[in-house]
Structure 1
Amino acid sequence: METHETPFRAALRTGLVLGLMMMVIVYLIYFIEASLLASNWFGLAVLILYFALLLFFGFKYRKEVGGYLPFGSAFQFSFFTLIVAGIIGLVGNLLLYMVIDPALPQVLADQQMENTMEIIESFGAADAMSTEQINEMKQGFLDAYSVGGQLKAFGFALIIYAILALIIGAIIKRKEPTQSY
């Protein structure tokens, strides 16, 4: 009798690999140029990489369990993989922002503020903003790097993970062919 790995067990293994890979990438970018962590391009690149790697691992898991995977199992695998990877990323980010470089949140908030002001100026709306609004926006960027801000971002990420897992699950599922007589 052949035993198959459950979606949860496979997701734990895959999530650990994906989370550690992403943490290494974040730390490499930090050591190369920390301000890139606040770049919109970095966030988009990470999302694309997550999607591609999750597809790769999802197809690999489907092959491991015999080539067929119902949508429910595909969704569970994807969602729990993202949760495990997200928790590892959360811990890695908290270590980076609170222990390794406590000054980094200020650098990233300043970079985000600069990026945002460039966008606002390109639309010609910079003059319409008061100093109070600008300071409030800057404080919001800084608060996002606090423990509470990171936990709140993780909570929001769970919604994104569910949507992404639905998409990935729909892509990697494969029904067993039924025999009709």
Structure 2
Amino acid sequence: MNEIIKKNGITFGIITGVLSVLITASIYIIDLKLFTAWWVGILSIAIYLGVGIYLLSKTKKELGGIFPFKDAFTTYFISAVIGIIISVTFNIILFNVIDTEAKQTVQDNLIEFQVNMLKKFNTPTEVIKETVEKMTEENQFDVVAQLKGSVFSILFSAIFGLILAAIFKSKPSHLE
């Protein structure tokens, strides 16, 4: 593997992980209800996307513009996996070691948020009750649930990575 790809993937993975930790810690300190705020999710995605775009443009430039699809995807994917590992590790420690009561508060906030959304869409009461029961049974902040969630985050990141790699790959030269 090219050293530039490896170095940038690792460096930006650490940057992404630290950003995620800072976002989570800020929400934790400011107000736990922000975990259910839609704009926080959008802002977080925008930040991660911006970091990914910067990562790929920087790496392409450092490689002299020769950036095959595979290398672009690999660079982004390394970064994403490292960022996710750092983020999930912090979340596990925060909600299962440091402040176990916070995970219940956030879980309650998520249930309340979901119920309000379902009511806005005139969802039948029976469906709302089933949803609440399922959410009560599955606490997404438990260690196993967070590890499962990290798998989905990696898959979601891979899709982003495929799209960004297609955008940033160098165009093949037709000089034969």
Same-fold status (TM-score > 0.5):
yes
Q: AA paired with 1:93? A: N
Q: How does 1:20-99 map to 2 (within 5 A)?
A: 20-99=18-97
- Whether 1:171 aligns to 2:167 is yes
Matching residue within 153, 156, 162 for 2:158:
162
Q: Do the aligned partners of residues 44 and 139 (structure 1) sit closer, same or farther apart at CA in structure 2, a change above 3 Å counting?
A: farther
What fraction of aligned residue pairs are identical, expressed as a percent? 27
Work out the CA distance in 2 between the residues paired with 1:134 and 1:50: 31
Work out the CA distance in 1 between the residues paired with 2:118 and 2:80: 33
- Whether 1:116 aligns to 2:126 is no
Deviation at 1:17, TM superposition (A): 1.2
Pairwise CA RMSD of aligned residues?
Answer: 1.9
Tell whether the 8 Å contact from 1:15 to 1:85 is kept in structure 2 after alignment. yes
Aligned length: 175
In the TM superposition, what whole-angstrom CA distance separates every residue of 1:67-109 from its partner, at most 9, and x where no partner exists? 2211110000011110000000011111211122111111111
Q: Do the aligned partners of residues 128 and 65 (structure 1) sit closer, same or farther apart at CA in structure 2, a change above 3 Å counting?
A: same
Query: Which consecutive residues of structure 1, in runs of 5 or more, have no partner in the other structure?
Result: none
Deviation at 1:130, TM superposition (A): 6.8
Question: Hey, what does 2:148 align to over in structure 1?
Answer: 152
Deviation at 1:174, TM superposition (A): 1.5
TM-score of the aligned structures, taking structure 1 as reference length:
0.87
| 1:175 alignment partner, SS class | coil
Work out the CA distance in 2 between the residues paired with 1:139 and 1:40: 23
Matching residue within 135, 145, 153 for 2:133:
135
In the TM superposition, what whole-angstrom CA distance separates every residue of 1:44-65 from its partner, at most 9, and x where no partner exists? 2212211111001110111111
Query: Which consecutive residues of structure 2, in runs of 5 or more, have no partner in the other structure?
Result: none
